[in-house]
Amino acid sequence: MTDASHPQTLACLGPEGSFSHLLTQMRFPDAQIQLLAGISEVFDFIRTHPQALGIVPIENSSGGFIIDTVDRLVDERCGLHILEELTLDVKLALLGRHCAEIKTIHSHAMPFFHSDEWLKANYPDAKRIVEASTAKAAEKAATQEGAAAIGPRQNAQRHSLDILHFPIAGEVPNITQFFLLGHAANPASTSNNRTALVVELPDRPGSLCRFLTPLSDSAINMKRLESRPIRGQPNKYRFYIEIEGSPADPHVQSALAETLNDGASIRSLGSYPAGHRFES
């Protein structure tokens, strides 16, 4: 079993300098980090390396759920567990060259979404170019004339760029939450204050309401709910549901048992601590 507090190998989204990479370095400064091209590649790496762990984004406060992550979690072939939720308070910087006219601004889609109003007010004529990552955007700013990038300020030193503005739209909260994933589930403990479930419900009116009623009656708070289509089964859905608490608490265990009375199928993705916070 891998020690989640001191893993030897961590897989995360690259390239070097991405927000996923920065968070992984902050959480596990001594781990060997495997940078990968996409979320599916992170899941596949963990599946084929039983001693490795991985970090993937799950939700951004501006853009919502990271659907690629949700789809891999609800897939019945997933086989992984959530060990921890990590929160990154994302502070964005405009990177470029002092005194250079900015003609193009490069970034990932999510930072553009967050900084849209700021860009309209400050750089209305600059062309926005969406890149695969903020790290790739910084590379473009470093190599193309008239280019700037939006991303973590740490990328300025990495690419010999100037920090032209920091933070961008700093008055608007910009939070991204990540999951630490591994093969073995956390031991049962009431210190795990969050539980993630994959739920399939009977195809009849009111089935979701009936599933949630025992949780409501037991004053168990639901934190996330997302429906995703089941591949190969038109108009059939799985639900990704997160609740506060852990089945190690008899109160939660009893409520979850009651949700099965209407024919629901439940697969646990694990119980884990949430709230470990970092700032970029």
- How confident is the model at residue 129, as a pLDDT? 98
In a domain, 18, yes or no: yes
pLDDT digits (tens, 9 = 90+) for 81-124: 999 999 999 999 999 999 999 999 999 998 999 999 999 999 99
Return the percentage of the chain with pLDDT > 70, whole number.
99
pLDDT in tens, 1-15: 456 767 789 999 988
pLDDT at res. 3: 63
pTM, 2 dp: 0.91
Q: Are residues 71 and 26 in the same domain?
A: yes
Instruction: Say whether pLDDT at 59 is over 60.
Output: yes
Residues 181 and 69 in one domain: yes
Report the candidate in 154, 164, 162, 160 with the shortest Cα–Cα distance to residue 134: 154
Q: Which of 116, 151, 185 is the last residue of a domain?
A: 185
Same domain? For 206 and 267 the reply is yes
The answer on 178 and 49 residing in a single domain is yes
Mean pLDDT, the chain, whole residue set: 94
16: in domain: yes
In a domain, 3, yes or no: no
Q: Give the burial string for 69-92 (b: 16+ CB within 10 Å, else e).
A: bbbbbbeeebebbbbbbbbbebeb
Residues sharing a CB contact under 8 Å with residue 123, sequence separation 6 or more, in sequence order? 102, 105
> Is residue 1 one of the residues assigned to a domain?
no
Q: Which residues contact 2 (CB under 8 A, 6 or more apart)?
A: 8, 50, 51, 52, 53, 182, 183, 184
Q: Is 180 found in the same domain as 61?
A: yes
Classify residue 61: in a domain, yes or no. yes
d(CA 274, CA 85): 5
Residue 213 near residue 256 (C-beta atoms within 8 A): no
Residues 267 and 240 in one domain: yes
The count of domains in the chain is 3
Tell me the residue range of the domain where 261 lies.
194-273
The tokens of 7 are what?
A: 């893993």
Give 170's pLDDT tier (boundaries 50, 70, 90): confident
